[in-house]
Amino acid sequence: MQGVVKAYDPVSGSGVLMCDTDLADYEMSPNALDGSVLRMLRQGQRVIFDLDEAGRATALRLGSEVDMKTPGED
């Protein structure tokens, strides 16, 4: 999935991402940045993410330009 960072607290590591396709909000899992090149997030930053079993955003990463195109774009 791809989306944007809606909120992020660097002290607690908690945050919320908004998915591009359905505009749903997903809380970040506690280990969302583990193994990622990302160390900090800023509001509005575009990311690609997966969902864990609990429906929380995990495995945050940056995508290539192809991955980050606008949904519905050919």
pLDDT tens per residue, range 23-42: 999 999 999 988 877 778 99
**Is residue 70 scored above 60 in pLDDT?**
no
DSSP 46-68: EEEEEE-TTS-EEEEE---TTTT
Yes or no: say if 8 and 39 are a contact pair by the CB < 8 Å rule: no
Tokens standing for residue 70: 């606008």
Q: Structure pTM?
A: 0.80
Would you state the pLDDT for residue 68?
Answer: 52
Percent of the residues in the chain that have a pLDDT greater than 70, as a whole number = 84
Cβ neighbors of 2 (< 8 A, separation 6 or more) are 19, 20, 21, 46, 47, 48, 49, 63, 67, 68, 71
Would you state the pLDDT for residue 13?
Answer: 87
Type of residue found at 24: A
In whole numbers, what is the pLDDT of the chain averaged over residues?
86
In the chain, the domains with their CATH numbers are: 2-61 (2.40.50.140)
